[in-house]
Structure 1
Amino acid sequence: MSWFDVGINLTDRRFEKRIDDLLSHSANADVSHLLAIGTSLEDSLDTLDLIREKTSRTITIKSTAGFHPHNAKLMKDGDSESLAALLNQPEVVAIGECGLDFNRNFSPPDVQLRVFETQLELASDLKLPIYLHERDAFEHQIQLLRKYSSAAANGLVHCFTGNVEQLNHYLELGLSVGITGWVCDPERGKELREALKELPLDKLLLETDAPYLAPKDIRPRPKYNQPSLLPHIAQTVADIKHISVGELKEQSFANACRLFSIDVGSR
């Protein structure tokens, strides 16, 4: 059994000339399964091309496809059909990264809401997991998820940083929860650490969100995050949950494979 990093931004420019080393370090750290995140139609296509090129005997990479709320304004007429076609590719296992981000509003809120709802409809129609992003928009997001409860029952809250109350709302809908290196920060991650204590083990997945969110307690501080740091995050999670790293490794891997319908024998 190995580790499964369910969140990496593989097309990020910081990885462009380092990707082979990145994947080699990942395999050496026993992080043999990765989920690469798509953030627009173009990026999702690029991500799919990249994972097809880089999946190997030592690394299995799947991907998501969708419109990140920052990129909601990029969705044009006809893109829904193009996205649906992309989601039918066997390597694409979830729709997203989708959701709402009212923190900086790189796309207008009304556009974000419309594009998110379109993707929830697609998730319902195609019976695919949703891969969720939320920032400063929890109430709006939870209302839409309740409206599309069948889609919400099969999905992941990517990079959860919320509190116990928010966690319980997500769990009531049946969602799984992704934990990142945010949990390694005793100050910023204080609420998350408390919520993590209440998170059922069968709903817990691990992710780096690389190159973002490098664990703050690593010395020397890395220039950017990468999948090889997932075991460090896992150690913190295991300590908080009072379980062994081995148990966490086995359970989180099984959770990811179940959620994304991944056969561990597939490449």
Structure 2
Amino acid sequence: MADTDATFDDFLPEALRFHSPAPLVDIGANLTHDSFAHDLEAVLRRARAANVTTLIVTGTDLAHAEQAVALAQRYPGLHATAGVHPHDASRWDSGLAAAMGDLHRRPEVVAVGECGLDFNRNFSTPEEQERAFEAQLGLAVESGKPLFIHERDAGRRMREMLKAWRDDIADAVVHCFTADRDTLYGYLDLDLHIGLTGWICDERRGHHLRELVKEIPLERLMVETDCPYLLPRDLPAKLKGRRNEPALLPWIVREIAHWRGYGEGELAQATSDTARAFFRLSSVEGPTPTGHAQQKES
């Protein structure tokens, strides 16, 4: 994978070269996205420079989950999830269920998902989504691994389905939470974790999160970029290409800490501790600290 020191030096303006006071875990990084194909190693170096030491690479269908596993095998500090996004729920069948079950037995896979319900776009019908999600709830019970959940405009049905399974699944996080107070409290009542993104940095649609963030117990809060999506709108400098990346996670943490009334370092440490416990990760890691791929031992 070709890249140069200039890629690292020039891509992020000086004002966007953040450094977290404590190592961070980005629980949602879509690093298999095509936009990362040409400079992934530089992206990982920038993450390391920002003290983002651990990345959970999201697998949203079979192909991307397999790619996420391959990245986790190649680069220290990377781990994978494996699931079928509700947009692709219409593709769920017995063969896909078996392939996902096989992936969940891999040590690189630390969560079942991204799976869930999205009644906003309905690229798959609600019935297809519920069928695929129900099946993946069963796979989470079978594997004993936590759930990585997507939900849009489906909070009530999501809570109904999760309530029926809650005693059997290990843990679950609603990633990229953007909903209202009632939905938040419904998830917290089910002892779910909450993932926050740069949505909170968007004054147009994320303003309500600035109040809600105070109501999320610290031991239930995790942070993520959801890169390459959701580039924070309030960054102190423009970024060419408008692609979000893990090196910008400290800015999101700074924003959350501000609205929560915490110190940035305290929030960074707490969210990382929570993420490591949630995904059963043992030690501080680092994605490609030298800028070169490091083959993990099998």
Which bin holds the TM-score, normalised by the shorter protein? over 0.9
**How far does the alpha carbon of each residue in 1:27-65 deviate from its partner, in whole angstroms, 9 at most, with x for none?**
000001000000011211111112212x13xxx011100
Alignment of 1:19-38 (within 5 A): 19-38=40-59
Gaps of 5+ in 1: none
Q: Matched residue of 1:78: which SS?
A: helix
Aligned partner of residue 150 in structure 1, secondary structure: coil
Matches within 5 A, 1:172-251: 172-222=189-239, 223-251=242-270
Deviations 1:119-160 (A, max 9, x none): 011112222100000111111111101111125661111000
Larger Rg, first or second structure (1 or 2): 2
Determine the C-alpha separation between the residues in 2 that align with 1:71 and 1:151. Answer: 25
Q: Which amino acid aligns with 1:150?
A: D
Cα distance in structure 2, aligned partners of 1:152 and 1:137: 20
Q: Secondary structure at the residue paired with 1:94?
A: strand
Identity %: 39
Give me the whole-angstrom Cα distance separating, in 2, the residues matched to 1:151 and 1:42. Answer: 28
Matching residue of 2:62: 41
Match of residue 129 from structure 2: 112
**SS of equivalent residue, structure 2 residue 167:** helix
Matches within 5 A, 1:80-229: 80-151=97-168, 154-222=171-239, 223-229=242-248
Which of 45, 50, 56 is the matching residue for 2:71?
A: 50
* Whole-angstrom CA distance in 2 between matches of 1:46 and 1:113: 26
Q: Which amino acid aligns with 1:115?
A: A
For the 8 Å contact 2:71–2:78, the answer to whether it is kept is: no
Supply the distance in 1 between the matched residues of 2:214 and 2:162 (Cα, whole angstroms): 24
Q: SS in structure 2 opposite 1:67? A: coil
Shift of 1:20: 0.9
Indicate if the aligned counterparts of 2:223 and 2:253 stay in contact, CA closer than 8 A: yes
TM-score, L = length of structure 2:
0.85
Instruction: Give the TM-score of the pair, scaled to structure 1.
Output: 0.95
> What's the offset of the Cα at 1:93?
0.5
Preserved CA contact (<8 Å) 1:98 1:131: yes
Which deviates further from its counterpart, 219-228 or 173-182? 219-228
Q: 3-state SS of the aligned residue for 1:190?
A: coil
**8 Å CA contact 1:177, 1:203 repeated in 2:** yes
Cα pair distance change 1:192/1:81, threshold 3 Å: same
Q: How far is the alpha carbon of 1:109 from its aligned partner?
A: 1.5
Q: Which has the higher contact order (CA 8 A, sep 6+)?
A: 2
Shift of the alpha carbon at 1:165? 1.3
CA distance change for structure 1 residues 240 and 153 in 2, over 3 Å: closer, same or farther? farther
How many residues are matched? 263
Q: 1:244 to 1:15 in 2, by over 3 A?
A: same
Question: Using the alignment, how far apart are the partners of 1:209 and 1:124 within structure 2?
Answer: 25
Deviation at 1:186, TM superposition (A): 2.5
With over 3 angstroms needed to count, the CA separation of the structure-2 counterparts of 1:265 and 1:4, relative to structure 1, is closer
Distance 1:142 1:48 in 2: 30
Is 1:12 aligned with 2:33? yes
Gaps of 5+ in 2: 1-21, 286-295
